[in-house]
Amino acid sequence: MTHNHENITMMDPTTTKYGKTTFVTVTKTLAIILVVIFFICLIATGLLVYSFTACSHNETFFANNSNLSSIGEPTAQSRVQVICDKNSISTNDLSNKVIIEVASSTAATTLKTARPANVNTAKDIRLTTDIVPDTYWISLIPFIQEGNFTFIGEETILINVTTDSTSITMHADTLTIDATRVSNLNNESISVRDVRFNTEKEFLIIDLDGILQAGQQYYVYLKFKGILNNMLKGFYRSSYVENNVTRWIAATQFQATDARKAFPCFDEPSFKAKFQINLARMRNMTAISNMPKVNTSENVEGLPEYVFDHFEESLPMSTYLVAFVVSDFKNISRDRVSVWARPSALSQARFALEVAPLILKHYEEFFQIPYPLPKIDMVAIPDFSAGAMENWGLITYSESVLLYQKGVSSTVSKQRIAHVIAHELAHQWFGNLVTPVWWEDLWLNEGFATYVEFLGSNSVNPKWKDLELFVVNELQVSLDLDALKTSHPISVKVGHPNEINDIFDSISYSKGAAIIRMMQDYLGESVFSSGLKQYLHKRMYKNAEQDDLWQSMTEQSQNKSVLPENVTVKEIMDTWTLQTGYPVIIAERQANKVDLNLRQERYFLNNENSQNDETLWWVPITIMDSMKNKNRLWLKKERSIIVQDAVREDLPWYLVNFRQSGYYRVNYDDRNWNALISQLLGNGHILIEPRNRAQMIDDALNLAYVGYLDYGIALNVTLYLVNEREFVPWKAAIQNFKFLHSMFSRSASFDKYKRYLLSLLKDHYLELTFKEKPDDEPTRVLSRMEIVEYACELGLKECVLQAIQLFQNWRNSANPDKENVINPDLREVVYCTAIRDGGQDEWDFAWNRYLNTNVASDKEILLNALSCSKEIWILSRFLEWSITDNSAIRKHDTARVFASIAENPVGRDLAYKFLKVNWSRIREYLGSTSMFMSSIISYTTNNFNTEEEVNDFKSFFEKRRDEFGIALRTAQQSIEQAEANIKWMKQYFHIVRKWLEDVQI
């Protein structure tokens, strides 16, 4: 808990006491004695407080060569005196409070409780630009071995004053401020009148008696301490067990607004500055930061077991990209890249070290700008909430997305590692070199990196067919969320940090990537590449808004005839970034059979919402006929157009949106749909590009869901799948079938659904089975994983028996932790099937393997499989363990457990009820502002399809609305999705059931 120092002589002047008053008289001598005793007690109390909060050791740590506390500009080898007891801070979180000791220029110390300033979060949550940082010199000592998990630190910030000011406002959160001093460049102090903290805004405000003059620079010195928290954000602690010993590390996760938890700072992306970091560590550990280490200071007075590492000054960057890790990790290196991991997992870092330099080189050629830093460290953190984080020069990862163990990790794991590395390396240019001004343009970071990761991964291994996978892994996924009325624009106004965290979703990532891909398609690769190069060169080491990118693209498109006359990229792209949703393009062949009527309207999950919606987009249209003739044109933010001579009269069908390059759905008249279905049947589907086959399946089933298309036609599109062998169309199909699966799984008609699906995939399953061939292409491996998993889930007898046999063979091996011959690509389906069919013995066996495995990706697979049990009590216990400290389930895996159990028909109701009953406990365990809460709410409620379920969740939501925090939008989206499911059950369930009964297989 926070040590909240209060002035014990302070009384409330308005206090009123009621009741009889008794008076006691004393002699003058006795009165004097009592007064003396009172002051002695007061002084003793003050000394006691000081002994617990200030210093019992005169600890000295080193940062640079001039004393930071004297506010001189630091040089390379200075000495800093810090007085603080490392054991004086509680290990509990500080609950968003800051305790402040103000050290004046005369060295007198005033102790006071922080006062919140007036709060107006809606209007003035942002810092002003009256004062901007130039350079930070930061020194930190984290105590991670003594068991108290605290840190102490001090910093000097060189600030530039743009407007005369009598106060300095920056950010600080969950920190105790022990000393503050302000001086000019001549080391002349400006008297500090007051230091206060605005809890709501997380502002630290330093009020001055003097004036900071515009055009001048000043030094701000701060001494502080804080907690190495266990909430996976800010400066936090992580651990792992090796040789039965728990080992601790200190790591950072600052995006979006958590640098302020590690040191007071101007914690907004536009306040770029240089950072010189100094980290103390125990001699048996290492410290790394954004920049290379310069040297190590050997003498830390009062802490003989510690040394100080000093790092080079950084290039200008935003606070959220600052990073440091103190650990006993080891590393392997190649060229400029080093991969760090706990010692027993270091052998798993080889694949990452193999692909990272290749992707880095590819990006240097792609962006035509050399990587600007001298090194890249990539670190696998045992406890990590963000998947990965692009800190400049020090990229942090969850172990499962950086470490790969051949013979244990799956092909999907290998591919995912390449993608995540490619994503984070893309950020080194797009996000780090050029950074958004504010978080409303978060999508510029994440959308761009998400798209470019597919290019980077494809450069490493084109056989993965990443450019095809983009359609099903990103574009179609974002179309689902963006169909909700409660979706949001890509570029969305945000203020409070909770609102910022709320937009780290598939709209910012996947939709952002999809519209960038669409822009590249209509501009052409040459214009797109040159536009990027111009944008990055003009804005490097600075901040940018989306309009800066549009301007560069427009300038590069001139004289290329890629845009309509007098139209800018901004005019086009604003319709996609500033508006919510996307259009469905309705294409109808006219009576003359050669002209097409193209009409757009916004696609809603609830089609009734589209009736009064006037949203229009600039839509790039591509049309391809059965002879593969292509036509490009624009639907220019207009409701409809007639395209003359768009198709040939003698050709039976045409396709709109070639390779699904545009971010929209397409509906046709029945004649064209039926012609496309005829083409797909037999082996005619091979004449249509796999991405368009995936598009047709996804569009047809989603159009039928909202009533645009007859369900009979939509389901007829899937008939050809019996002959489909490409992964991308099957992936699109299974993603859509999973919705029907969830709607039918608890109905009396589920057998009809199973019968149809097994008829489609059985032959494909028999071709693939559980046996992988050495020459199998990566996409065939992915197909095997999808088809075999779904066949077993649907109860295909051959599949289930084979999975159980493989699992039992593993159980009966002499050393199951070292002898596992199950194909790594099929382990999840084998484990899940055997646990689903088995009981406690099978579950306990898998749990013990989870505890013993040293491979993070293997832990993920086992954790998913453990949720497949049909035993309610086992699932209940599993949920309980997921929110219990020291249960062996890491905090960042809690949402995974909830998601997997909610996908289990047996566990669906259980997961939701557990969420309700344990709501307060879950929030406390994960943190009320954790993004994990959004995931848990989404997974446990998205498949609701009865009014009873939805009404219950609505009631729960309304009672606790104020507690949902960043999960508020997620809850609203879940309700909207569930209400759409109810509507679907009423309107279409019986239609689909009838089709399934009648279909001839």
Which amino acids are annotated catalytic? 424
- Position 963, amino acid: E
Query: Residue 101 corresponds to which tokens in the numbers above?
Result: 């000791």
In whole angstroms, what separates CA 878 from the centre of its chain? Answer: 25
Q: Which residues pair with 249 in a beta bridge?
A: 238
Long-range contacts of 772-775 (CB under 8 A, 24+ apart): 772/823, 772/825
Rounded CA-CA distance 314/331 in Å is 22
Rounded CA-CA distance 577/580 in Å is 8
Identify whether the C-beta of residue 65 lies closer than 8 Å to the C-beta of residue 75.
yes
Rounded CA-CA distance 997/755 in Å is 10
Q: Can you state the angle between helices 546-557 and 512-523, rounded to 10 degrees?
A: 10
Distance (Å) of CA 916 to CA 140, 746, 874, 913, 921: 41, 22, 19, 5, 10
Tokens 């059950």 correspond to 985
Alpha-carbon radius of gyration of the chain: 31
Rounded CA-CA distance 784/779 in Å is 9
Query: Residue 863 corresponds to which tokens in the numbers above?
Result: 């954790």
Q: Which residues of 627-642 are buried (b: 16+ CB within 10 A; e: fewer)?
A: eeeebebbbebeeebe
Identify whether the C-beta of residue 369 lies closer than 8 Å to the C-beta of residue 537.
yes
- Position 942, amino acid: N
- End-to-end Cα distance, the chain: 66
Cis, bond preceding 256 (omega within 30 deg of 0):
yes
Pairing between β-strand 109-112 and β-strand 234-242 as defined by DSSP bridges: unpaired
Residue 566 has what DSSP assignment?
T
Going by C-alpha positions, the residue among 312, 308, 263 that lies closest to residue 285 is 308
What does residue 95 show for φ and ψ, rounded to 5 degrees?
55, 45
Identify whether the C-beta of residue 503 lies closer than 8 Å to the C-beta of residue 486.
no
Q: What are the E-state strand segments in 684-747?
A: none
Q: Can you state the angle between helices 350-367 and 442-460, rounded to 10 degrees?
A: 110
Distance (Å) of CA 41 to CA 29, 110, 977: 18, 19, 64
- Position 437, amino acid: V
Query: Residue 606 corresponds to which tokens in the numbers above?
Result: 């609830």
Element (H, E) at 307: strand 306-311
Enumerate residues 6+ apart whose C-beta is below 8 A from 506: 477, 478, 481
What does residue 202 show for φ and ψ, rounded to 5 degrees?
60, 40
Q: Which residues pair with 583 in a beta bridge?
A: 602
Tokens 């009148």 correspond to 193
Rounded CA-CA distance 831/838 in Å is 10
Q: List alpha helices for 774-918, DSSP H.
A: 778-793, 797-811, 827-837, 840-852, 856-866, 872-882, 894-903, 908-917
Residue 721 has what DSSP assignment?
G
Query: Residue 948 corresponds to which tokens in the numbers above?
Result: 């009873």
What does residue 715 show for φ and ψ, rounded to 5 degrees?
-70, -30
Rounded CA-CA distance 309/281 in Å is 8
| 3 state SS of 100 | strand
- Position 583, amino acid: P
